[in-house]
Structure formats: C-alpha cells, structure tokens
Amino acid sequence: MKIQDDSIYTPKETQVYLKVSQSTMTRMLKSGLIRAARVGKQYRTLESNRDSDFSS
C-alpha cells in the first residue's frame, strides 16, 4: 500500500499498515492511542497523525 502525505485513511487501512488485529485497532481508537476523527459513525485517521502517534 502506497502512503501519501496528509491522506485520510479508514481504520481498516490503518490496521493493515500497523499490522494489528481488528479488536486492537478498535481499542486503540477508542482509548485515544491513535488520533482519529469521527465522521458519522466511522473513524478516519490522517497519515501524519498515524506516524507521529508512534514515533517516540
């Protein structure tokens, strides 16, 4: 999967990128470990947030 700067990704795409299970992805979103915006009943993550959340 090619990653583009400031692109918007679904939880499924982020899950594949991070190589985690669906339940782990859901837990990370709900706990705020991954910064995401809710659009209706769905979450969306920015590529820049996704990488910065785990770079420490």
Give pTM, 2 decimals. 0.71
Instruction: Identify whether 32 is part of a domain.
Output: yes
Q: For position 50, what pLDDT does the model report? A: 65
Instruction: Identify whether 1 is part of a domain.
Output: no
Nearest to 25 by CA among 11, 8, 36: 11
Range of the domain at 43: 8-52
Instruction: Identify whether 2 is part of a domain.
Output: no
Q: For position 53, what pLDDT does the model report? A: 62
For the segment 20-49, what is each residue's pLDDT rounded down to a tens digit?
999 999 999 889 888 888 889 898 988 776
Instruction: Identify whether 26 is part of a domain.
Output: yes
In angstroms, rounded to a whole number, what is the distance separating the alpha carbons of residues 56 and 4?
21
Measured CA angle at 36 (ends 32, 39), to 5 deg = 130
Q: Which two tokens stand for residue 50?
A: 């996704």
Asked whether the beta carbons of 33 and 50 are under 8 A apart, the reply is: no
Q: How many domains does the chain have?
A: 1
The residue whose two tokens read 């809710």 is 38
